[in-house]
Structure 1
């Protein structure tokens, strides 16, 4: 039996920490970042003693570029933007020797931020805006607001990132931190054949981040210090994509939608490592039947325990006693479950992740369009935004972006991580270099941002964005049996909508119930909303809008069950589930040029937060369970979709 891990004792004064303790705290970082072991003692010593000695060996030089080079779109080996060009060279007469154990250098971070706070920091931190403008060579006269916008735009060419990953880290903890190196570090230019490497390093005792820089070869006096801005990438096309933030490249020869639809290779790679198994359907022996005894329900979700009061269901404390297991976490081994508990119902379906993963959702939607033109700049059905998986189709996305730009089409996009909810690490931008940099931090999709959404008038604010959440109930895959709860929930932005200040959360996002600082949550009940909506839009009866919404739900699930796992949701007679579908309405032109409302599905969530549903509708889970397990949905706010 292995010994229990020992706690690492760190002295109150980190300067008293010995080297073995330093390694216990930081070995993983050093190894994963590829820092040569010869330099490890110097890393500790220089941090401990605050030794920033790069200036003894290197110097910054301003370089004048000739006009032909500027007109050509940038120098591949000197791409950092700004009015001036810079380089860093060896100034030590003896050069720098990589075999010297002290030849690793600390680079300070001039600015560290998480994206949602960048504007606020530039406005509030004394001197930060002017320092960043100078570092980015923004020298012309302009107002504070104009300077802030310029820095927020240019910073993506100067920023790098790291994440904190530790035992017990939440999704919020893993959001990327962006940083700008100091003037010295920011002047080091790109080269495909770099002479140094630079990596972020987080010093645990003081919770401080640095950049470590070391040479890849011996350098003589006058040699230039360069790094690879696409470090670790070898594929030529992928490198050109990643370097677009600094070096222009034309991708318009690539057809945006060729090969964008579902293929088995995508799912094989996407789901590799999920270890999800399929159930054995013939193992089940308790089909849904009416019976006098109540169904025994085991759940680890408190809101169900508090609100499932229908006498036909009985809550139990032990999972082994249950006829129905309703859990907040996914199970992966359906095969074993179906053999060991063949008589037990479960609140999830095999491979339902093809709906709840944002990248897979896009592929499922795109599979409904069979005559997509390869050169089209849109993809997928009308009820799903044009979406690109940036891990698989970055060149296609770049081609689409550049072609849209050439044609003068709107180019606002929203970047979303595959598997995070609540708007975490989600950003809106119309800048290609911004999108390229964001795609580095985690697997993301780029979805066309709705530039013309249907807005809701708030008397206290004005015209704001809104989104709508429906709960859908999947009772069966073969045949498809799908219901939706007719009570829906609304979320509103807190500031008037406009296509500016794209980093302003309360203007462009509607999820306010998870934000810090007491952000106001504007609530309107669905049956109050409908007459208000019809008053604001008298030509659009809600029953017609809702009918088009339900039609989108039907098409989505018909596509999701049309293929066998892992490319579709798996059939299992003992599965039942609910999903939250978030959507918005947008304006579009009909065949006769008339203005129409089009529902656009945003995401699908497994095991959604239903506290708000139960607060205003105490019978919510009674309705859900009665529909899914007893086929009892008459006289309930439930609509049959399929």
Structure 2
């Protein structure tokens, strides 16, 4: 039996090695940790107790009054992090959820609402009001970990996406208070693979020997600047303190905070391209030119291309090395001539400066210097940001959290709409995207991965759909862009666009209602996917919004101008700051946009994102010749003027 236990323990060490090292768990605690997780031993009650917080508690005065208790050791407890092999404890999770499911959980999970109101010190006569308070206060208690997203299809997607789960620790874990200087324990999540269970671990980091010692942990462990750290701690501070801090950092008082110019920060761009191989040789050597009747051999991992590329000038093959054209979903990182030779490919070096949301926001800020104009009048913050009018105001939270927080407070003081959409920098399909008007939420969301905060378009152009009762719905538009060359710029747009339409009438009342605020429905189970072809949409748009001659054809010219300006911003600099020129490269991108009704009652296209290797299933279903046209533009320089428009100049 002993040998069997040792084998299981050694297997535990092997399977969990990365977690043990990453979380800095002392080696002498490994065996006891394994035993506790295997047998689910929750013995913290023999070491710790909950103590009521007094109204005049000095430690609590700077903080919001959410916690009813603090945690202390029992009288005779001594915890030595160097010697005590039992000094690691499991904390249970009271609630684990994804943000998009939080409201529904509070209605549907038995006793969850009652437990959260007690834990968060909420008193409300109406359950609906209590739920709203829980959804606000939970950011003072939340912890997170990531698991593989359920929205990813292994058959369709080349990379696995990680989706965050948030959780509230039990009453003991949630009552541990913060201290910058007196933290004596560390808490971290840990996934125990044999039972597929996520625990929070608590262990001492200093010797605790005084009777009834209060237990503290540090809520913000990082090496960021003092200013960044202070901003990250704001969710636990009283609201008046938060306002005082942020009002002291305005652009008038601290202009240096707003003078950072990240759009040409080489370090940021190089970090995103650190695995790319590019020597510039492919900008000089022309690929082999084929006779117009030559049959081009195509290697691809796109099932739709295999199905719909039927033009007689292309031959699908299974041998990568014999291909004239390589068209892949997986990202190419080696663009050297010695690797590519004369092969044509569907990617450009460093193109992720437009497909990565963080870099897209930064390169778009070159617009002001290129076009010598300002996007927003009477807003010094946006003017210093140098954002174009066609991109929602965006903050890269990894580098601009203080700037965001100050601007949030400015808008709050000015009583301007303060709704933001927070997105991961490199995921699609609305995975891990949140709409919020709470600063605590925005500050804490990056804990689950790098994020950007974009001003939410709260006054979108809406569409009246006959079979939707109760109002008009939000929609966005997806265009396919075809990039043939960087120098000179040869950029085309396919006229066959498609609509993504929300299922519920637009309202700003519940920002977590997915079917009101999001339009991507085709990857969600049990959700109605509403489809509309572009011809029907154009007719409806002109009937509903073409006052003063603003027909869709007029709007489309503004949209094409936006695309052109984006690529000017993205190609004005050499790599790594700009897309690299490569004579072997061609590319297909999907550009998503929304229409905003601005303060002057004018309609302004707003770019949402640009996607690499987009799902073109809907385009193929309605226009089976779609990929034939795309390939002819990219690889044979043949333009079907009925369906493809040159927007290079």
Give the conservation status (yes or no) of the 8 Å contact 1:385–1:447: yes
Aligned equivalent of 1:271: 272
Q: Offset at 1:35? A: 1.1
Aligned equivalent of 2:579: 569
Pairing 1:125–2:109 present: yes
Aligned equivalent of 1:225: 215
Please list, as runs of the form range in 1=range in 2, the aligned pairs for 1:503-542 lying within 5 A after superposition.
503-516=512-525, 518-539=526-547, 540-542=550-552
Q: Offset at 1:410? A: 1.0
1:240 to 1:254, Cα distance in 2 relative to 1, 3 A: same
Aligned equivalent of 2:607: 601
Q: Offset at 1:308? A: 1.4
Q: Offset at 1:394? A: 0.9
Render the CA deviation track for 1:540-598: whole Å, top value 9, x for unaligned: 31111111101101100111111101111111122111110000000014xxx4x2110
**SS of the residue aligned with 2:580?**
coil
Pairing 1:348–2:354 present: no
**SS of the residue aligned with 1:557?**
helix
Equivalent residue in structure 2 for 1:637, among 622, 643, 646 = 643
1:442 to 1:410, Cα distance in 2 relative to 1, 3 A: same
TM-score, reference length from structure 1: 0.91
Equivalent residue in structure 2 for 1:495, among 478, 491, 504 = 504
Q: Offset at 1:21? A: 2.3
Q: Offset at 1:165? A: 7.0
Render the CA deviation track for 1:498-518: whole Å, top value 9, x for unaligned: 1122111111100000112x2
Render the CA deviation track for 1:32-56: whole Å, top value 9, x for unaligned: 1111112111112222333222222
Q: Offset at 1:283? A: 6.0
1:283 to 1:567, Cα distance in 2 relative to 1, 3 A: closer
Equivalent residue in structure 2 for 1:110, among 74, 94, 98 = 94
**SS of the residue aligned with 1:393?**
helix
Please list, as runs of the form range in 1=range in 2, the aligned pairs for 1:52-451 lying within 5 A after superposition.
52-66=42-56, 75-76=61-62, 79=63, 81-82=65-66, 85-98=68-81, 99-139=83-123, 141-164=124-147, 174-193=162-181, 194-219=183-208, 220-233=210-223, 235-247=225-237, 248-249=241-242, 250-252=245-247, 253-255=249-251, 257-271=258-272, 273-281=274-282, 284-286=285-287, 288=289, 290-335=291-336, 338-370=337-369, 375-377=380-382, 379=385, 380-451=387-458
Q: Offset at 1:405? A: 1.1
**SS of the residue aligned with 1:628?**
helix
Pairing 1:481–2:480 present: no
Render the CA deviation track for 1:254-293: whole Å, top value 9, x for unaligned: 5464224412334355325323324413663435454332
1:257 to 1:270, Cα distance in 2 relative to 1, 3 A: farther
| Gap runs ≥5 in structure 2 | 252-256
Render the CA deviation track for 1:26-76: whole Å, top value 9, x for unaligned: 232122111111211111222233322222222111122339x79xxx645
| Gap runs ≥5 in structure 1 | 1-9
Give the conservation status (yes or no) of the 8 Å contact 2:464–2:472: yes
Render the CA deviation track for 1:477-536: whole Å, top value 9, x for unaligned: 1111111001100000111111122111111100000112x2100001001111111111
Give the conservation status (yes or no) of the 8 Å contact 1:278–1:570: no
CA distance in 1: counterparts of 2:64 and 2:595, whole angstroms: 41
**SS of the residue aligned with 1:572?**
coil
Give the conservation status (yes or no) of the 8 Å contact 2:419–2:458: yes
1:628 to 1:288, Cα distance in 2 relative to 1, 3 A: farther
Equivalent residue in structure 1 for 2:32, among 31, 42, 46 = 42
**SS of the residue aligned with 1:339?**
helix
CA distance in 2: counterparts of 1:620 and 1:48, whole angstroms: 56
State the number of aligned residues.
614
1:202 to 1:282, Cα distance in 2 relative to 1, 3 A: closer
Pairing 1:610–2:616 present: yes
1:484 to 1:62, Cα distance in 2 relative to 1, 3 A: same
1:341 to 1:225, Cα distance in 2 relative to 1, 3 A: closer
CA distance in 1: counterparts of 2:263 and 2:272, whole angstroms: 13
Give the conservation status (yes or no) of the 8 Å contact 2:146–2:162: yes
Give the conservation status (yes or no) of the 8 Å contact 1:80–1:157: no
**SS of the residue aligned with 1:60?**
strand
Cα RMSD over matched residues?
A: 2.4
CA distance in 1: counterparts of 2:355 and 2:499, whole angstroms: 20
1:612 to 1:182, Cα distance in 2 relative to 1, 3 A: same
CA distance in 2: counterparts of 1:108 and 1:170, whole angstroms: 35
1:282 to 1:472, Cα distance in 2 relative to 1, 3 A: closer
CA distance in 2: counterparts of 1:95 and 1:24, whole angstroms: 31
Q: Offset at 1:233? A: 3.6
1:556 to 1:229, Cα distance in 2 relative to 1, 3 A: same
Equivalent residue in structure 1 for 2:475, among 460, 466, 474 = 466
TM-score, reference length from structure 2: 0.90
Q: Offset at 1:85? A: 4.4
Render the CA deviation track for 1:173-211: whole Å, top value 9, x for unaligned: 621111111111111100002011111111111111211
Q: Offset at 1:374? A: 9.3
Give the conservation status (yes or no) of the 8 Å contact 1:416–1:446: yes
Give the conservation status (yes or no) of the 8 Å contact 2:68–2:121: no
Q: Offset at 1:102? A: 0.9
CA distance in 2: counterparts of 1:299 and 1:570, whole angstroms: 23
